[in-house]
Amino acid sequence: MQFGVDEAGKGPVLGSMFAAAVRAPRDALPDGIDDSKRLSASRREALANRLRGDDRVGIGLAEITPERIDAGNMNTLTVAAHVEAADAVVEAGDAGLCDAGDVDAGRFAARVEDGLGADATIDAAHGADASDSLVGAASVLAKSARERHVASLADRFGEVGSGYPSDPTTRSFLRRYVEEHGAFPPPTRRSWSTCETIRAATEQSGLGDF
């Protein structure tokens, strides 16, 4: 059987990264599967729900928390995410394709294959989420998991934005939180340079009060 793997949420300063693996006959995949970034949120969630509701589709999901990210290396953790997602569904003899999480696609494939518990073969390619339907399906599910995670953070903390450093809403939320609590909220990747910039700006603002 074939399978595809992709991750979502590698770059945000807030929240976890997720990886998904999809093991299924290609004819079980719904029409319209594509790189999740090319799909509207509503279309992406509708496809994710169809995938989750089809017994022919095996799904593995892995979450890499901010704590793991701050303590580790993103290249290694991206490999780990693909391995953990794939290990949940892959069987001996399967063949899989990953969206390459390394500039060297062959190296990334070898590292994922070496980490698998099952005796399966792995290839990797850049842009596989757009060119391969199984990887595209994994992209949709990983992005859906990431968006549900961000929604749970908004339920907990109020409006947090997308979690990406370039999002003004996210940066405003983090700055307000630090000003009010003296520390970043628990789901923050504190090792990101964004946090250093925000803390410096907050401290400078505080000096202006004197």
b or e along 56-95 (b: 16 or more beta carbons within 10 Å of the residue's beta carbon)?
ebbbbbbbbebeebeeeebeebbbbbbbbbbbbbbeeebe
What does CATH list as the number for 2-154? 3.30.420.10
What would the pLDDT profile of 151-207 be if each residue is shown by its tens digit?
Answer: 999 999 999 999 999 999 999 999 999 999 999 999 999 999 999 999 998 877 654
94 is in an annotated binding site: no
Q: What is the pTM of this model?
A: 0.93
Residue of 33, 59, 63, 56 whose CA lies nearest to 46: 33
| Residue ranges of domains in the chain | 2-154, 156-203
User: Collapsing DSSP states into helix, strand and coil, what is residue 155?
Assistant: helix
Fold annotation for 156-203: Arc Repressor Mutant, subunit A (1.10.10)
What torsion, rounded to 10 degrees, do the Cα atoms 70, 73, 74, 79 define? -130
What would the pLDDT profile of 126-161 be if each residue is shown by its tens digit?
Answer: 999 999 999 999 999 999 999 999 999 999 999 999
What would the pLDDT profile of 84-112 be if each residue is shown by its tens digit?
Answer: 999 999 999 999 999 999 999 999 999 99
104 is in an annotated binding site: no
How many CB atoms neighbour CB 137 within 10 A?
Answer: 32
User: Collapsing DSSP states into helix, strand and coil, what is residue 73?
Assistant: coil
99 is in an annotated binding site: yes
Structure tokens at 114: 């070496």
CA angle 136, 140, 143 (to 5 degrees): 130
User: Collapsing DSSP states into helix, strand and coil, what is residue 63?
Assistant: strand
* Residue-wise DSSP of 20-52: EEEE--GGGSPTT---GGGS-HHHHHHHHHHHH
